Amino acid sequence: MKKVLIVGGVAGGATAAARLRRLDERAEIILFERGAYISFANCGLPYHIGGTIARRESLLLQTPESFRQRFNVDVRIHNEVLSIDCTAKTVCVQNKLTGGTYLEDYDKLLLAPGGAPIKPPVEGIHSECVFTLRDMEDADRIKCHIQKFNPKSAAVIGGGFIGVEMAENLKNANLNVSIVELSSQVIAPLDIDMVCDVHHRLREKGIALHLSNGLRKITKRGNALILELSNGSLEADMVILAIGINPESKLAKDAGLDVNERGGIIVDGHMHTSDPDIYAVGDAVEVMDLIAEEVAMIPLAGPANKQARIAADNICRIPSEYTGTQGSAVIKVFDMTVAFTGVNEKNAKRLGLRYDKVFLWHSGHASYYPGSKFLSMKVLFEKESGKILGTQLVGFDGVDKRCDVLAVAIRAGMTAYDLSRLELCYAPPYSSAKDPVNIAGYVIENVLTGRVKNFHWHDVDYLPRDGSVILLDVRDPQEVAYGKADGFINIPLDSLRNRIGELDRAKPVYALCHSGMRSYVATRILIQNGFDAYTLSGGYRLYSSATVP
């Protein structure tokens, strides 16, 4: 009978323990958790604070007692593993309630310590009104503070997943909320042309954005906190630090296990560390980026659970391998949904990939069925093969399911031609007969075959205005009245055939419309009439969103 110790009782640790028991009824399994809770839904914590998840107990997926009863796992909460002796194959454990320590031996050891919120070395950061959010205790402190002191305003430092989710939920709790973000955007995996709609929506919902701004100092003034920023200052009644996490790898490092320069525990595809009897999973481990084919730190719940299952399989001598992370994620921003998977354009450039891109704006379901709203989609693909490399979607209707389909496409190595052939579910309340995923395939296929040549939103302002090219807006006049790009003449699409003689065939034509659909039709007309024509991918809507404050 083998003895397995597990350090950490949330996503990775609890998943591994349950899988181990299902595979081996006779193994001795001990799970150590230094906190008071195991297997809680940490991704739901912001929504409990905001009141969407009203019952705190809903977040407690398993208690130590229920886990013991169902899986026969020795769960030891309030027990922290202090050190590992790899030679003796023992761990030193401290009971946090009594202060006493003891040794526990093992045959196999699995580390699932997660990550710790980053606290920058800023004066005033340890104020009782400054909070981080990692576990149930943190959520309790924030919720208790709001109920007890009734703060009117909050500053969220950091615009990542937790930062944006906390901003929404604090706003739902009737606080005035600001986000302070060091970079020029929130949600770093999005490219700027996709995150611009998110910025607009946050502002529409009353969130103040302080972008390209860092926290320098926090000073208590009466009941308020004064935040000194790198550009200006801000007053708030409470502060949430959501800058990111560092891997909790000190235990592994002190034991002599290999870690990378960021502290991530180095593991192979079987989740082995540099010690053959020690495994590691979750936010603390280094992973292989599926597209970039380079090591990375990608702290997501889905990969953590998969890694835990794989580690448990290998402990039980079932060959199983983790093949990489592609960074699939989705986030709710009030009534908007943001999702992405694969490589973004920033990283595609950094990696030197031979890529191209298309932008689409499409209804989430049949436009004639009530409630249809649009989604914006960006898809990156290999220039030669059309292989899908990454996608980003922002919108209101069906964003998550389209991103899931494209995540599968990326994992399977599919091309744009494959997307156009996919047979996806259709009924008016759910989709269109040509799903946005199919449309993406058609659009990329047109680019690959040379039927369409694109230009992009960031090219518009650099096109010559000296008469050497024709800048053509094929929208209707009433649309143009609401906003237009400088230098573009207006010939509505439905008039183009009759007015084509007004255009000089010797000059390239750059056409735009609202979303890119009508300009695509216009360029097909023009190309077949002897013009060298280009269409604005994503249309004027994307151009104005990305460039107009």
Asked if the model's pLDDT at residue 56 lies above 80, the reply is: yes
Asked if the model's pLDDT at residue 281 lies above 80, the reply is: yes
The whole-number average pLDDT for the span 206-230 is: 95
Asked if the model's pLDDT at residue 121 lies above 80, the reply is: yes
Please state, in angstroms and rounded to a whole number, the distance separating the CA atoms of residues 137 and 77: 14
Asked if the model's pLDDT at residue 549 lies above 80, the reply is: no
Of the candidates 165, 186, 191, 522, the one whose C-alpha atom is nearest the C-alpha of residue 344 is 191
The whole-number average pLDDT for the span 272-301 is: 93
Asked if the model's pLDDT at residue 426 lies above 80, the reply is: yes
Look-up: residue for tokens 């390209």? 212
Chain mean pLDDT for the chain: 95
The predicted pLDDT at position 39 comes to: 86
Query: Which helix (H) or strand (E) covers residue 139, if one does?
Result: helix 136-149
The count of residues in the chain is 549
Percent above pLDDT 70 for the chain: 100
The whole-number average pLDDT for the span 418-441 is: 95
The whole-number average pLDDT for the span 89-104 is: 97
What are the pLDDT digits (tens) for 302-315?
A: 999 999 999 999 99
Please state, in angstroms and rounded to a whole number, the distance separating the CA atoms of residues 327 and 344: 10
Helix, strand, coil percentages, rounded to 5, for the chain: 30, 30, 40
425 is catalytic: no
Per-residue pLDDT band for 42 (boundaries 50, 70, 90) equals confident
User: Is beta strand 79-85 parallel, antiparallel or unpaired with respect to 90-95?
Assistant: antiparallel
The predicted pLDDT at position 450 comes to: 95
Please state, in angstroms and rounded to a whole number, the distance separating the CA atoms of residues 403 and 377: 9
Fill in the DSSP letter of residue 286. Answer: -
Asked if the model's pLDDT at residue 223 lies above 90, the reply is: no
Asked if the model's pLDDT at residue 378 lies above 80, the reply is: yes
What are the pLDDT digits (tens) for 335-346?
A: 999 999 999 999
Q: Which of 43, 86, 92, 316 is catalytic?
A: 43
The whole-number average pLDDT for the span 419-424 is: 96
The predicted pLDDT at position 62 comes to: 86
The predicted pLDDT at position 11 comes to: 86
Please state, in angstroms and rounded to a whole number, the distance separating the CA atoms of residues 489 and 511: 10
Please state, in angstroms and rounded to a whole number, the distance separating the CA atoms of residues 69 and 196: 50
The predicted pLDDT at position 60 comes to: 86
The predicted pLDDT at position 150 comes to: 95
The predicted pLDDT at position 428 comes to: 94
The whole-number average pLDDT for the span 204-210 is: 97
Percent above pLDDT 90 for the chain: 93
Q: How many CB atoms lie within 10 A of CB 489?
A: 11
- 527 Cβ contact list (under 8 Å, min separation 6): 451, 533
Is-contact 383 368, C-beta < 8 A?
A: no
Asked if the model's pLDDT at residue 548 lies above 80, the reply is: no
Lowest mean pLDDT, pick from 37-41, 315-319, 498-502: 37-41
Residue-wise DSSP of 92-127? EEEETTT--EEEEE-SEEEE---EEE---S-BTTT-
**Residue 219 has which token pair?**
């000073």
- 422 Cβ contact list (under 8 Å, min separation 6): 405, 435, 437, 438, 441
User: In sequence order, what E strands does 403-443 have?
Assistant: none
Residue-wise DSSP of 441-469? HHHHHHHHTTS--EE-GGGGGGS--SSSS
Fill in the DSSP letter of residue 264. Answer: P
The predicted pLDDT at position 147 comes to: 94
What are the pLDDT digits (tens) for 475-487?
A: 999 999 999 999 9
Q: How many CB atoms lie within 10 A of CB 252?
A: 27
Please state, in angstroms and rounded to a whole number, the distance separating the CA atoms of residues 127 and 219: 9
Give phi and psi for 34, each to the nearest 5: -75, -20
Q: How many CA atoms lie within 13 A of 138 on its CB side?
A: 19
Contacts 24+ apart (CB under 8 A), 62-69: 62/14, 62/38, 63/37, 63/38, 64/38, 67/14, 67/17, 67/18, 67/31, 67/38, 67/39
